[in-house]
Structure 1
């Protein structure tokens, strides 16, 4: 039962008939099964359905409160998109104004529909632009007001991924093509893959056509950290987003019967049904008939005795989620002792918690082995404060492998333990044996960071509609907050730092990049003239007629990066940059450089005097230094232009590959 749409042309009975016809598959039977439509003061209907037919109606009417369109008028006149329907999705509204799906290969898809069957799309869309919802939580965890970065923005969804076949290049390109034609303002792409050359990468191609029309694209950096050279979506016209923490973390309390308490990490939605449960270790619960199959201490599948596990909390060593194994054996819960405590929480399918193996783990193990009646209880997860921001361990790192001297990711945004909308068609863990459903869920990943950045792009664009995608990207990068660096590889994973959308509204200076500059860059990178000509729609294009860009990277990027090849070579790089004054009419900026020992950074000139708005001035940055020591892989510096009212910061990263 929801609000009636604002549109005066809305006919409740017709819409309800369409919904039922989609589920039942027979328009005539749909009319017979519908008992009554409510449509005078609220929207709903009652019908005679089989249980499986009623199940198909869940989510079907955009039930997630993040997409409530109360107070919204009809879509803007510039909107050209459509609302495709199908199983579990029969309409849009004035908040979600467009929905399309793509399956150009005619793959084996059960339900051809824009419906979100795994929760990922709902979560990312609501993160970007969901309306503010008071009292939002995951079964009481993380309760508060949940809202997207730009809660008043409209949403259009384009489904290109299917659980049975993944995401195809042709579908992704089709989605870009449709979104651009439909009139979207910002594109958010929470997916990726192994980096490819730009002319074979559908995201690079699609986003290039988007920026030609002034539409910025935000993409996730990937979840393959902390390994280096794992960053995805690396085209220079894309805003590549890493995942960072917020100051809220989710912790789970474990209590032992001897009074010992330990705080671990997980998303445990279960409230204990009794005070204490029997506690056993995987080692003691070993299945003697398993013939050595699997590691019982690590609670590997097949290594434990169902009789010994049933009704007990099981203590396991190692990594990963063991709750699935214990659930199959009718266990009451899991405690997993890990050597490297994760910096994000995962939802367990039964009561569960991850604890530090060297502190809490040793205490728990000693307790189990020193008493005949070990007992414990795992409490429901609660919110606590935590350090922030820092780059998540899973967030992919640079350097990239396609354009070696462009630093990627560009910046970071919140992507750890994010509470946002979720689909009723998916269980909380995505596992079919999990029967829990909720309109909100807590997820982590660069998929969650990407829509945060897309929202920031939309926010800046709403104040500066005449700025190019490159100018908006520059504003976000140069005003970002430098990150808390936990390890060396985080230097290659944080880019310019954590986004600060409010500061980005008034960056002072921007590094703009024109289409001609992108084309010259592609020529410099060795892409052939015919391929570039096809991309830009010029038949007789020839790179020989393009002025070759100067400098190590050949593009006016807000960050500066060089890979030292061969690794024993001296440091030598020159970057040519041009900044546009978007601050005050008359202003003077002075360069401030912070550099480590072994790296010389010279800025020429080191003072920029602007006489008016939108004036452009150029400078160069020269990096010099001896060969880097054998044990050193990264040298990190920064350049800041300052007029005492604006701070325009660019990271400078020198990387020595391992040979």
Structure 2
């Protein structure tokens, strides 16, 4: 769920092996790659025609033994074939055979083996047919140099690793009705995502979790053609598919041997899958907190799981691309990708952008995580406009605990470490005499901490490890200080001794008391789960922020959703100590945009079920134009420093599923509409064609390019680069509300600019009617910074809101914020 790196990793020559595969699907025309010397690549084959962060059909081809020694140092590369080069169906039985012949032209291969099986070329990992015009392979530097001289060769990208970026949120979001912001409830209309397939790309899934029970589930729709690499007793009508993609990753990591089933003891994939579409599970809780019936956003939707990430190892680009291609052919409706790369990744190189475009081309909605390296600006990943980019917010639930000082002051915090029979006795309160972080066993002596409560500063490691260290020294309890950047947001974890986690500001009061009192004392009071959060939702401190480095004229993130302290399914709580033979808890809280992304994936499934004819852009528009911009106190959503959160943090605002079901108007786009936008970004023809593959190649010089401001996006961003500017932005809206409905425009902007809209009134006479309008921005001077406003189309029944963002600059890549390291866990 953090930014990605792109190392050049040296890999040794593979050893011979058997190419048989135990999970061969009958529809495949050749064998799946083992990634070794004799291994086949996986052919990516579709009939038609994408950062964890804490949000990518394969017909494999074979490979053969080379005719001579192969002693070079290999690296994995994604090789793009120049458009319009295509394979001759009279010479090659499929695209994999053609890619194999291209690779064989520069590799040390036996010609007779190639003639015998054109698809069996050593070191070909994946042969893509939809997401890109190309293949991934293991090549030496010399082979790559020779390949670059070929007419068909366009570019090669070295391997790149990407990273992974509930019982209450259905109620908070108004899905259940009765307690949401608007009463009623989306589920009350008998829409729980029935018949919708959500494809989740992540690090593994615990298939036996109760969230994946299929009681009451119907069979998957007939369009589903995917497969399950578990045995038949594991997959069911809820978890209908499970695959593993690791041909690229296994060359870097020992232990990823074929077959790798899509299961592990990791937490992330189970958590995100159950958040998106987990079944109803009564009695879910963590350490007795958050007790309730757990459910995903679309509890009757089907889940297809694609393992592309591996715990502590990340997610390889080529594996992500292969999984997206497979998922599209399998028949998924929604893709949930809680993963991503670095801020400002080129759309033509990024697997989420490439796969996401192909998904949009096939009517598949893609929800992605914005990233977890906020709150610094310009840190956002997954910025392509055809993706839904989701930031993270807090919820209105907290796991309340209090530090009671000897001065009788009571200071609020949170805890998941509530002990039994804790007592009311005040105990000595001390600080770590070392660096204050409670990380050194040699410093934490029993005579200093035994039987006492110790306060531990942030940094130096995770708090659960610190808890074990202070417990070993004999401490009775612990107070954990959150990093200052987290503001009032606390992310509690279960600890091995009584622990209260407090904000940085609260900690300063506790430390002042210790300094002023020679015999400081304290007690820890545990209050359980409360729904009395002073202000919610609030921005999550870690949520990555805009501006959108690669396309400043498109506001990102698109919106925010719940991503802090989300309770969802896990194989077991990693940090929790349990008695021998005790049943491990099956739910845990996690935080990150990886958690907000599947919330939106599930909500998108509900919209797709309610409106099966809507395009992916229409679904995104409905989500964005109906958001909430205020919190539970009716004040603007706040950032962690107490100031009003900017559009670079919130995007259009906080998701409101009920309103999104009936948005009134939508801003529609087809996949083809993004082509003139890409040309307007000054991408080369080759870059554009790589993105839009398998659509026919285009020549940007022959197309009417459009500027970013004129892409028919639900948010409006205007760039001003000189004084006395007058800039027009054009939009089209489609009527999906009442057959006959009139909308009046309302504009709110600061006095430093003038914004006019023509026409000021839109009258629709039928459904699906499209009307146009123009926004004119007049600025006497170049803005000093971002200017925020909003445009609303208001009828008797609907309010269709778009953020207006006015920025200084020309729209080129002139925002170069450095991406910081991810925020440390408190």
Q: Name the TM tier (shorter chain).
A: 0.7 to 0.9
Change (3 A) 1:353 1:509: same
Runs of 5+ consecutive residues of structure 1 not aligned to the other structure:
1-58, 288-294
Corresponding residue for 2:397? 248
Corresponding residue for 1:408? 556
Corresponding residue for 2:360? 211
Count of aligned residue pairs for this structure pair? 580
Give, in whole Å, the separation in 2 of the partners of 1:188 and 1:581.
Answer: 28
Q: Secondary structure at the match of 2:217?
A: coil
The match for 1:224 among 373, 394, 402 is 373
1:536 paired with 2:675, answer no
Corresponding residue for 1:8? none
Give, in whole Å, the separation in 2 of the partners of 1:538 and 1:469.
Answer: 18
Change (3 A) 1:62 1:343: same
Corresponding residue for 2:617? 470
Corresponding residue for 2:752? 598
Q: Secondary structure at the match of 2:211?
A: helix
1:562 paired with 2:718, answer yes
- Larger RCO, structure (CA 8 Å, separation 6 or more): 2
Corresponding residue for 2:673? 517
Matches within 5 A, 1:177-216: 177-195=325-343, 196-216=345-365
Corresponding residue for 1:42? none
Give 1:359 shift: 5.0
Tell me the alpha carbon deviations over residues 439-473 of structure 1, each in whole angstroms, 9 at most, x when there is no partner.
11111111111111111111111111111000111
Corresponding residue for 2:663? 507
Corresponding residue for 2:682? 526
1:443 paired with 2:590, answer yes
Give, in whole Å, the separation in 2 of the partners of 1:373 and 1:178.
Answer: 62
Q: Secondary structure at the match of 1:493?
A: helix
Corresponding residue for 1:45? none
Give 1:570 shift: 5.6
- Contact persistence 1:280–1:368 (CA under 8 A): no
Give, in whole Å, the separation in 1 of the partners of 2:262 and 2:240.
Answer: 13
Corresponding residue for 2:444? 305
1:327 paired with 2:468, answer yes
TM-score by length of 1: 0.82
Corresponding residue for 1:104? 247
Corresponding residue for 2:430? 281
1:93 paired with 2:236, answer yes
1:316 paired with 2:434, answer no
Corresponding residue for 1:27? none
Q: Secondary structure at the match of 2:646?
A: helix
The match for 1:395 among 530, 534, 543 is 543
Give, in whole Å, the separation in 1 of the partners of 2:541 and 2:723.
Answer: 31
Give 1:326 shift: 4.5
Q: Secondary structure at the match of 1:503?
A: helix
1:114 paired with 2:262, answer yes
TM-score by length of 2: 0.66
Give, in whole Å, the separation in 2 of the partners of 1:83 and 1:323.
Answer: 36
Change (3 A) 1:497 1:358: closer
Give, in whole Å, the separation in 1 of the partners of 2:440 and 2:727.
Answer: 53
Give 1:367 shift: 5.1
Give, in whole Å, the separation in 1 of the partners of 2:206 and 2:729.
Answer: 53
- Contact persistence 1:428–1:436 (CA under 8 A): no
- Contact persistence 1:390–1:485 (CA under 8 A): yes
Tell me the alpha carbon deviations over residues 158-204 of structure 1, each in whole angstroms, 9 at most, x when there is no partner.
11111252110011111101111111111111111203111100000
Give, in whole Å, the separation in 2 of the partners of 1:469 and 1:617.
Answer: 20
1:459 paired with 2:606, answer yes
Tell me the alpha carbon deviations over residues 244-264 of structure 1, each in whole angstroms, 9 at most, x when there is no partner.
122222222223466543211
1:479 paired with 2:626, answer yes
Change (3 A) 1:279 1:615: same
Corresponding residue for 1:41? none
1:637 paired with 2:782, answer no
- Contact persistence 2:561–2:654 (CA under 8 A): yes
1:130 paired with 2:278, answer yes
Give, in whole Å, the separation in 2 of the partners of 1:476 and 1:186.
Answer: 14
Give, in whole Å, the separation in 1 of the partners of 2:205 and 2:588.
Answer: 18
Corresponding residue for 2:729? 575
Pick which of 491-500 and 252-261 moved more: 252-261
- Contact persistence 2:567–2:588 (CA under 8 A): yes
Corresponding residue for 1:343? 489
Matches within 5 A, 1:485-500: 485-486=637-638, 487=643, 490-500=646-656
- Contact persistence 1:126–1:420 (CA under 8 A): yes
Runs of 5+ consecutive residues of structure 2 not aligned to the other structure:
1-203, 631-635, 810-814, 817-826
Tell me the alpha carbon deviations over residues 8-62 of structure 1, each in whole angstroms, 9 at most, x when there is no partner.
xxxxxxxxxxxxxxxxxxxxxxxxxxxxxxxxxxxxxxxxxxxxxxxxxxx9973
- Contact persistence 2:546–2:648 (CA under 8 A): yes
Change (3 A) 1:187 1:359: closer
Q: Secondary structure at the match of 2:266?
A: coil
CA RMSD of aligned residues (A): 2.9
Change (3 A) 1:373 1:221: closer
Give, in whole Å, the separation in 2 of the partners of 1:69 and 1:141.
Answer: 26
Corresponding residue for 1:11? none
Give, in whole Å, the separation in 1 of the partners of 2:675 and 2:367.
Answer: 20
Corresponding residue for 1:25? none
- Contact persistence 2:244–2:261 (CA under 8 A): yes
The match for 1:546 among 680, 703, 720 is 703
- Contact persistence 1:604–1:619 (CA under 8 A): yes
Give, in whole Å, the separation in 2 of the partners of 1:429 and 1:490.
Answer: 38
Give, in whole Å, the separation in 1 of the partners of 2:734 and 2:425.
Answer: 65
Corresponding residue for 1:47? none
- Contact persistence 2:287–2:417 (CA under 8 A): no
Give 1:382 shift: 2.9
Q: Secondary structure at the match of 1:416?
A: coil
Give 1:583 shift: 1.4
Give, in whole Å, the separation in 1 of the partners of 2:462 and 2:338.
Answer: 24
Give, in whole Å, the separation in 1 of the partners of 2:576 and 2:787.
Answer: 41
Give, in whole Å, the separation in 1 of the partners of 2:753 and 2:243.
Answer: 51
Corresponding residue for 1:291? none
